[in-house]
Amino acid sequence: MVLKLYGHPLSTPAKLVAAVCYEKEVPFEFITVDILKGESRTPEHLAKNPWGKIPVIDDDGFILYESRAIARHIADKYTAKGPQLIPSDVHKRALLEQAISSEAFTWDRAAVPVLLETAYKKYQGLESDPVKVEELTKALAEKLDVYEKILAKQKYIAGDELTIADFYFLPAGSVIQSVGIKVIDERPNVARWFNAISSRSSWQKASTLSA
């Protein structure tokens, strides 16, 4: 049974899952859930994800939601396919866990408010508050200053090997770049790293998801 990915072409978390599938060479069927029409709140979808969100996967009857958990499941289960995105070495695995926690509690918490004030307001036809954007961007820049130091010493976010932690930065990072905020490009090590992961064919394919 081919893995089923329920999402929306505009959903960056859905693109994250698709990117990991492409990277791991795991075939999948993309099933559009039109969140703009409320399809994520239908009884059928709520039976898969009680929070009424996307993405969700059906992996041969195993239902899982939350994009990071899904990405990790795919990397964990399909070890025989594609690159090993979760290292088996105990020290490298610990560094991966460190990077994953850092992404969730530093990068994501600083990046999402910037997205809400810029991209999401624009999508809703609302005006961004330039003062607020400046404040939020400054807070994000402070986090990226730390990542700049980390990435001066290693190739990827968890060491010198590509892991799922790198993919976790792609959804927010790609939107931040698309709205013209230069915090990534202004830091050479961060820029080198982000350009490397965002230019991978897996993310490029995922970025062109269609209904």
* Bridge partners, residue 28, by sequence: 3
pLDDT tens track for 117-166 = 998 888 788 899 999 999 999 999 999 999 999 999 999 999 999 999 99
Rounded CA-CA distance 50/40 in Å is: 10
pTM, 2 dp: 0.94
Structure token pair of residue 119 = 């991209």
Q: What is the pLDDT of residues 12-52, one digit of tens each?
A: 999 999 999 999 999 999 999 999 899 999 999 999 999 99
Distance from C-alpha of 42 to C-alpha of 47, rounded to nearest angstrom: 9
Q: What is the DSSP letter of 86?
A: S
Q: What is the pLDDT of residues 85-116, one digit of tens each?
A: 999 999 999 999 999 999 999 999 999 999 99
Asked if the peptide bond before residue 55 counts as cis, ω within 30 degrees of 0, the response is yes
Q: Which long-range contacts (CB under 8 A, 24 or more apart) does 87-96 make?
A: 87/161, 87/163, 92/158, 92/159, 92/161, 95/158, 95/159, 96/158, 96/159, 96/163, 96/164, 96/165
Q: At what angle do helices 170-178 and 108-115 cross, to 10 degrees?
A: 40
Q: How many angstroms from the chain centroid is the CA of residue 9?
A: 14
- Mean pLDDT over 188-196 rounds to 98
Written as six digits, the tokens of 160 are 């010198």
